[in-house]
Amino acid sequence: MKMSEIKQMTDAELENLEQQLLKERFNLGVQRRTGHLQNSARVRQIRRDNARIKTEWKSRETKNKAV
């Protein structure tokens, strides 16, 4: 997911997406431990998308404090 897509999302959409990514990351971790992980690159994508979401949250937080 690109940062431009994340910036266009509402707070509720970001919260929902963050929860989905956390669940998926947990499930992939379980799959990795059991040896059933098919796409190991997905773990990296999820981690980076989650970081992008947190970056956007922080950006919005500082904008609200400045105003």
- What is the value of pTM for the model shown? 0.87
Q: Does residue 67 register a pLDDT over 80?
A: no
Contacts of 37 by beta carbon, 8 Å cutoff, 6+ apart = 28, 31, 43
pLDDT of residue 29: 96
What residue spans define the domains of the chain?
3-66
pLDDT of residue 66: 83
How do residues 6-64 score in pLDDT, each as one tens digit? 999 999 999 999 999 999 999 999 999 999 999 999 999 999 999 999 999 999 999 98
Q: What is the C-alpha separation between 57 and 35, in angstroms, rounded? A: 34
Fold of 3-66: Helix Hairpins (1.10.287)
pLDDT bin (cut points 50, 70, 90) of residue 1 is confident
Contacts of 22 by beta carbon, 8 Å cutoff, 6+ apart = 50
